[in-house]
Every structure is written in structure tokens, then in C-alpha cells.
Structure 1
């Protein structure tokens, strides 16, 4: 911010200086040239008056002396010619060619035509710029000739250059002063903003040990800092309340549920056979309530703190979860496969990949028909790494897939026992890891959950890895007629 403010101030000051100094420089240059032209014109008029008297009284030697003295005084050249262009007096030697063309020179010709003015010309002779002025010589109504006066303009050019240099140095000095003041002002304004940034980073880390300063900076920034401190204090209070609720709820809810489950287990030997179905239903609902409590507590714990993604070995996590769930899948007559090439590490919240796979595999097992296959496969994409969990269950409609990540939502025909929190937790963990969770129709029937994470493994050439073949199996008759809803349907 300091740099942007400094650049803004300097740019504004530079624009003001340019708008002032450039016109001033041009005005001074034009005035200097006008002054030099007027001075030359006055000298030429003076010589013309003296030549008129000298020629009228027949004193050409005095005219020659006056011409030489004038040329020496102005550091230029003076020439007096008669009406035909023949030199009468000159301060410098003239060769024959120049003598013959004097009458044809524009300034002399203009002065000899009617003798009613002066002609000004600028030219370069020997690398030096000269100013040429020609005026007529009159005695009464008689035209006696013309005077041409040539003066060098290097002195004028030096004065103009010095003025431009002075303006430039003055501009640099002004910009330096403006830069010094602007830097101090930008630091004064930017300091509280940087303090607010530091406090915001601290708050994003989960706590605000040092509030933002409310005694420095402009009044608007001080008011903003005070508002931020109040907001941060309120957020800390809310987070502390939520954390306390999560801890208390964990104790107050899980303990009675465990006691209730124990009492139901103890009742099992004493329950008559015709009431055994009611006891099993009560035990099932108790387990479902316990899972719902665990899901709610997991969501609360995840939302109460700012989680930072870390590098996670996706291959190791996928192998470990597939191995852990393999035995349970076998008991239900469902095959669990892990396919795909290694994809390396990706950014994820610690423990998030394991929880995501556990929820997806649990939901897949709940809806997978006996004899079907649930596939976990890995894939590298240009946007990162992907974990796919695909089953061969009935799948979901587009509207059901859109709502599947809502809390407590379950498909109308979902199997019993779900809580409606599994996929909500999957999405929250994926988003907290900087990734994306999707539900897509699986090729051949069923549902496919896709988890996309930012990978740390270098891409293959071109960023497009070789595709991993997706298992394509026809759904069984049981899958076609089943009432499940695919991956996550039980917990969606």
C-alpha cells in the first residue's frame, strides 16, 4: 500500500510540474527569441539612420568605420548596399560570387522593394545559427539602399538551454520533496492497514492475542480498527461457545447413548421372541443416533477451527482404507478394488482423506448389491489429483445428486440406518482442503463420487496423464430392482 500511495503522489506531482514547466519553458524560449530579434532590428535601424546621413553628406569612410564598430560590438556582420545591391560598406570580406548575388537575397530584396519594412531570416553558417535582419535606408522619400545585419543566436540558445535545465532541476527537487513527504504520509496511512492485516492473519489462525491499534493513522482507519477488534472479540466468543458446546455435547450425548445401548444389550436374553424385532429396531435406532451425534460433533470440530491443508500421500491413504474395509466388504459379498497408477501427494486437511474415504465406502457398502463391485481408483488430471469411488447400485437422479450434500437430507428410497450427514462431512472436508467433491452417474449404472485435490506431484508432459480404464460392468438384476440410492444415499 505504501508503494502505491507513493507512486500516486509522485505521478500527480509530475503531472502538475509538466503542465506548469513545459508551457513556461516554451513561453520563455519564445520571449528570448523575440528579444534577440528586436535587439537586432534596433541595431539595424540605427545603422540605417547613420548610413542615410553619411550617404546624404558624402562621408562613406565614416559609414565604413561605423559598420565595423557595430559588427565588433554585436559579434556579428553588417552590410550596407545601394539600391542595385552593390556593397557600400561591409564589416567582413565578400567574394565575387557573394557580391553578385546580394540583391537576390530574400531579406535584402524585401528591404529594397518599396523600403517599407524589415525581413527576418534564420540560417546556419559553419554550424552556427544566425539571425539576419534587413531594413531599408531612406533619406526623405529617396531609397538609398538597405542594411543587412547578421547576429549569432548561440547566446540565446545557451540562455534557453539554461532555463530548461533550471526547470528540470527544479522539477527534480520538487519531486524529491514531494516523494519525501509522500513516503512519510504513506507510512502513516499504511501502518494501521498493515496492523489490521497482521491482526486478520492472527484471527484466521484461530485467535487474536494482540488487537489492532486504534491510536494511530487517519480517523477512518482508527474507526475501522476498532470495528475489527469488536468483530474479532465477538467471533472469539462465538468460537469459544461452540467449542464448549462441542465438548459438552460429546460428553452429555455419547454417555447416555452408550448406557442405553448397554441396557438394550442386557435386555436381549429376557425379551420374548415375538418382541425381538422391536428390540432390534431400538438397537438399530440407537446406533443410528450415535452415528448422527458423531457426525454432528465432527462437523462442529471442523468448523470451529481454521484448518490448514498439508501434504498427504493419497496412495498410502487409499491403500490403507481399502485394506481396512476389505474384510467387511467380503462379509457382505461385495468386492472392493483399488485401481489406477500412483498419484503421489496432495494438499488436504490432516485426517480428511481417511474420513472422506470411510464415509464414501460406508455408504457404498450400504447400497451395493451382493456380488457387485465397488471400485476406488486414482487419476491425475491437469487440475490436480482425483479419487473416485464408484458402486453398481441404483444411483441417483440429477435432483438427488444436487441435494445429496445437504445436511440431514436422505434420498426417499435410501436404505434404513443412514443419518444424512456423511456426504455433508465429505464436502466440508474436501472444501477445507481446497478441493471439490462431485457426484456423477457411474458408467454401467450406480453412482460415482469424485474427490478432486490439488496435487504436489509434477504433471506428465503436457499436463494430461494417460487415462486409467474405468471398470464397466453390467448391473445385476438386484441392482436394477433395488431401492437404494448409490454412493452416499444412505448418509446423504
Structure 2
């Protein structure tokens, strides 16, 4: 953002300077040309007036010679021609003579306005001596273009200096303005990213930048403080519930175990049913706490080698699957990818998915775990050949107790969905070809700068 602001202001200033300085320099150059030409023509007319007295009135050429000498002392070259185009007098310098001068004289004597050329760095001017229609002669004056070129060079030099100075000042001011606006926004962006990664104590700097940015930083800090208080409050509630529920459940279970030891007949049957309900209630409490923890997750992405985690969880669940007569397998698609996930989250997700698949599969069934990279995302799938789900059950399976057909607590997929989405991924359910259910996870890919593509 800082570069964009600086470059935008710099380009805008450059355009304004070009639109202002270049036309001004062109205008001043044209004015210098006109002024120089007017001065040269005025000097030529002075000599022409003195030459007319000699050519028309046959007066001595004393005044004409004086004007020619004055022109020579000024560095000009001048020549006087009579009505037939014959050279009458000239300065020692011969630049006012030659073919170009003769063409100018011919044009003046015929009553035309000549176009004065530039001859070897000298400007030529011609004026009639006497009346324009019936001149008694003509005067040609050649003047060096050096002073004019020097003035024009000075004009463009000063214009360039003004442009460079303006551009330099604009660059300095643009960079300072861009940093003044962009640096607080970059700091705020970094604070927001760290807050999103789980640093709940992160706060933005409020005392820098424009008033709007300072207000935005203050609003962000208020939001961060409320979020921190809310998350800590929920975590405290979860901890209290975990302690307050598990302790009496454990005590009740122990008492039922003691009572069941000496029970017989119908009493033993009833106590066994009560023990099963207590165990089911314990599993449900654990599932609800797991869902609550997943909902409060603010993960800090770390590099997770998906292939290694999948192999590890398959090895851990293989004894359980073999005991139930279910085969676990892994299918790798391409190189082993690295995902950007919270620490331990992929293990928890796979544990829930494999547990559900093992629970849903009959003896002789199979569960296949696959992983690979597809379009810049990591895809992990868990496929079983169990009874599968109806479309209605799949639509609500990621909610708490959403699947009425679940054999367990119905909370495993809710935990999976919340952990995956908290890390910036997606989860969906598909039918396995031939029967069964496939859970497809798309996870963010780990990149070199330490963040995931489309991460949390």
C-alpha cells in the first residue's frame, strides 16, 4: 500500500509538472525568438533609414557608414544593396552577403515579405530602404544566434531544475505521506493476523497515522479485548463444566460398580443397564466438551506433514480395526503434502473420522484413507463401505446430534467440521461408489512465509 500511494502521488505530480513547466518553457522560448527577431529587425531598419538618404537623396554616405560601423562593433554583419541588387557598402564581416542574402534582397525589392533563414548559426534579416512598394535599395543584417541559444538553454535549464526540484520534493512528501498512512495499516494488519492465529492478547498501536486509522485501531483493540474476555470466559465455563460433571459421574459409576458386585437376578440386570447409561452419559459429556473446545479453537498454523500423520493414526487404529474385522489402508496421490494446521488438530480430526468409520463398518469391511494435492489445496479423504447416510442425514451431519442414525454420540462429525473450518479448510460428505460414506477434507497448503493459503 505504501508503494502504491507513493507511486500514485509521484506520477500525479510528474504529470502536473510536465503540463505546467513544458508549456511555460515553450512559451518563453517563443517569446525570446520573437524578441530577438524584433531587435534584429529594428537594427536593420536603422541602417535602412540611413541608406535611404544616400540612395534616394544622393546624400554623402557618412551616416550610412557610421551605422554600419556601429553594427560591426555590436558584432553584427550588414550589407547595403541598391535598387538593382548591387552591393553598395558592407561591414568587414561578409556574412550578410552571398546567395541567401541576394535572395532576400530580391524578395524585398519586389515587395515581398522574405522568410529570413539561419545561416551557420547566424540569423539573417532584410528590410527595404525607402518605401516598401518602390524601395531605393535593401539592407541585410546577419546576427549571431548564440545569445538567443544561450537564453533558450537557460530557460529550459531553469525549467528542468524546477521540475527536478518539484519532483524531488514530491517524492519525499509522497514517501512520508505513504508511510504515515500505510505503516499503521500494516501494523494493524499484522496485529489482526496474530489475533486470528490465537494471540488473544494482541493489540494494535493507536497513536500513529491519520485520525481514521487511529479510530480503526482503537475499534480493533476494543473488539480484541471483548473477544479475549469472551474466549477466556467460555474456556472457564468449559473447565468448570468438565470438572463439575465428570467428578459426580465418576463417583456415581464407582457406586454402581460396588452395588453390582453383590447383585443378582433382576437387580444385577438393572444395575448393568444403569452402568451402560452412565457410560453413555460420560461419552456424551466428553463429546460435548470436545465440540465446545473445537468451537473455541483459535489455531496458530504450523507445518503438518499429512502423510506422516495419516500413517501414524492408521497404525494406532489398526489393532482396533482388526479386532472388529475391518481392514485399514492408505492411498497416496503424488508427493506427501504439508498442511498449515493447528498443532494436534489433524490427529483429532482423523481419530474422530476413523472411529466413526470403524463403528459404521461391519466385519470384513474396509476403510481407506487417501491424501494428495489438488489445485493448491490438500485433500484428505476417509472412505468406508458401511451403510452410508441418506441425503437428509448428510445435510445435518455436521451439527450437534445432527445424525439420528449415528451409533455413537453423534458429535464426532461436529468436532471434525469445527476443527477443519477453524483452520481455513472445508469438509463435505459424499457417497462411496458401491455403498458407504466418504468424508472429504480440503486443507490449506503450507507456504514458505509461514502461513497457509486461505488459512485461518
TM range (shorter): 0.7 to 0.9
Kindly indicate whether residue 24 of structure 2 is the aligned counterpart of residue 24 of structure 1.
Answer: yes
- Cα distance in 1 for partners of 2:394, 2:107 equals 98
Deviation at 1:140, TM superposition (A): 9.8
Q: Who is 1:422 aligned against? A: 412
- Cα distance in 1 for partners of 2:133, 2:378 equals 105
Deviations 1:305-329 (A, max 9, x none): 5312222333332233223322322
Kindly indicate whether residue 349 of structure 2 is the aligned counterpart of residue 356 of structure 1.
Answer: yes
Q: Who is 1:223 aligned against? A: 215
Alpha-carbon RMSD across the aligned residues, in angstroms, is 3.5
Counterparts of 1:126-145 in structure 2, within 5 Å, are 126=120, 128=121, 130-138=122-130, 142-145=134-137
Kindly indicate whether residue 59 of structure 2 is the aligned counterpart of residue 49 of structure 1.
Answer: no
- Cα distance in 2 for partners of 1:244, 1:445 equals 44
Q: Who is 2:145 aligned against? A: 153
- Cα distance in 2 for partners of 1:95, 1:76 equals 9
Q: TM-score, normalised by structure 2?
A: 0.83
* Residues 208 and 383 of structure 1, relative CA distance in 2, 3 Å threshold: closer
Q: Who is 2:451 aligned against? A: none
- Cα distance in 1 for partners of 2:232, 2:96 equals 107
CA contact (8 A) 2:371 2:378 kept: yes
- Cα distance in 1 for partners of 2:131, 2:347 equals 117
Q: Who is 2:382 aligned against? A: 389
Deviations 1:264-313 (A, max 9, x none): 4445463645983x666654444343333223322333443531222233
Q: Who is 1:320 aligned against? A: 312
Q: Which runs of 5+ in 2 are unaligned?
A: 449-456
The 3-state SS of whatever aligns with 2:24 is: helix
Deviation at 1:344, TM superposition (A): 3.3
CA contact (8 A) 1:329 1:365 kept: yes
Deviation at 1:53, TM superposition (A): 0.4
* Residues 281 and 59 of structure 1, relative CA distance in 2, 3 Å threshold: farther
Q: Who is 2:452 aligned against? A: none
Q: TM-score, normalised by structure 1?
A: 0.78
Q: Who is 1:431 aligned against? A: 421
CA contact (8 A) 1:85 1:102 kept: no
* Residues 206 and 318 of structure 1, relative CA distance in 2, 3 Å threshold: closer
The 3-state SS of whatever aligns with 1:437 is: strand
- Cα distance in 2 for partners of 1:140, 1:434 equals 93
Q: Which runs of 5+ in 1 are unaligned?
A: 459-492
| Number of corresponding residues | 445
- Cα distance in 1 for partners of 2:328, 2:271 equals 32
Counterparts of 1:72-87 in structure 2, within 5 Å, are 72-87=72-87
Comparing 26-35 with 184-193, which one deviates more in the overlay? 184-193
Counterparts of 1:196-275 in structure 2, within 5 Å, are 196-197=188-189, 199-201=191-193, 203-204=195-196, 206-207=198-199, 211-268=203-260, 270=263, 272-273=265-266
Deviation at 1:31, TM superposition (A): 0.8
Deviation at 1:20, TM superposition (A): 2.3
